[in-house]
């Protein structure tokens, strides 16, 4: 079956918003620096695992200044349960160094500036701005990338390509909630191995080839 046409996509996006009108990021955080560290740690890891790790980290490194003072040696033991913790620790410390030295300890809120900083790519910047400020950015993680193809919303070989397409086809008023809603849908309903199609609030607007009969 072909990918959704414009009318089908709009019906899907409207249904998604109706099902998840106020979706929330499931990472724990209490300030912007904690959120940024949590997002960096969450790459190729689960939010649940990150949330088990971050309390100890946030207790001693809840600002860029404190993280920089701790350094790689101080932070590494606190995040060892997270995948690729060595690289992520270095990214956090390098980012803290730039934030402290060039931005007076405040994370920039401009997307184009964010993606020039150590450890921050398009996905991280998009998720950060979307979660922290409800900005209309669509961060494409594994769930969003997978569902974009499975549900035939759009196709792309890379997350960036999918992100660029989604930001063109998702109406502006739905952009602040779209990615967060897709993550929740992918995490709890449209799961990778056994999608719960009969429980899905989007069953009527779904075009997936894996869709179970009602």
Q: Which residues are catalytic?
A: 123, 141
- Per the CB < 8 A criterion, the answer to whether 126 and 145 are in contact is no
Q: Where are the alpha helices (DSSP H) in the chain?
A: 6-19, 32-42, 47-60, 64-75, 85-103, 111-114, 122-133, 142-150, 159-169, 175-188
10 Å CB burial of residue 1 (0-12, 13-18, 19+) is exposed
Closest to 121 in 3D by CA, of 106, 111, 133, 135: 111
Tell me the C-alpha distance between 9 and 153, whole Å. Answer: 6
Sign for the CA dihedral angle at 125, 90, 99, 41 comes to positive
Which residues make Cβ contacts (< 8 Å) with residue 51, sequence separation at least 6? Answer: 26, 27, 28, 38
Tell me the C-alpha distance between 48 and 116, whole Å. Answer: 28
């Amino acid at each position: 079956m072909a990918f959704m046409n414009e009318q089908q996509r709009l019906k899907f996006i409207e249904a998604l918003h109706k099902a998840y009108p106020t979706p929330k990021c499931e990472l724990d955080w209490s300030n912007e620096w904690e959120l940024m560290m949590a997002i960096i740690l969450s790459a190729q890891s689960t939010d649940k695992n990150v949330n088990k790790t971050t309390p100890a980290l946030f207790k001693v490194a809840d600002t860029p200044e404190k993280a920089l003072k701790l350094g790689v040696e101080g932070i590494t033991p606190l995040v060892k349960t997270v995948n690729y913790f060595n690289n992520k620790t270095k990214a956090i410390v390098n980012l803290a160094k730039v934030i402290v030295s060039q931005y007076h300890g405040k994370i920039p809120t401009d997307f184009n500036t964010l993606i020039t900083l150590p450890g921050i790519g398009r996905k991280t910047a998009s998720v950060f701005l979307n979660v922290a400020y409800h900005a209309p950015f669509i961060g494409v993680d594994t769930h969003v990338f997978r569902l974009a193809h499975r549900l035939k919303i759009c196709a792309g070989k890379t997350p960036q390509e999918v992100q660029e397409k989604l930001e063109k086809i998702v109406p502006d008023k739905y952009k602040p909630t779209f990615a967060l809603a897709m993550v929740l849908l992918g995490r709890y309903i449209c799961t990778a191995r056994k999608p719960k199609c009969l429980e899905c609030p989007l069953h009527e607007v779904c075009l997936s080839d894996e869709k179970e009969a009602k």
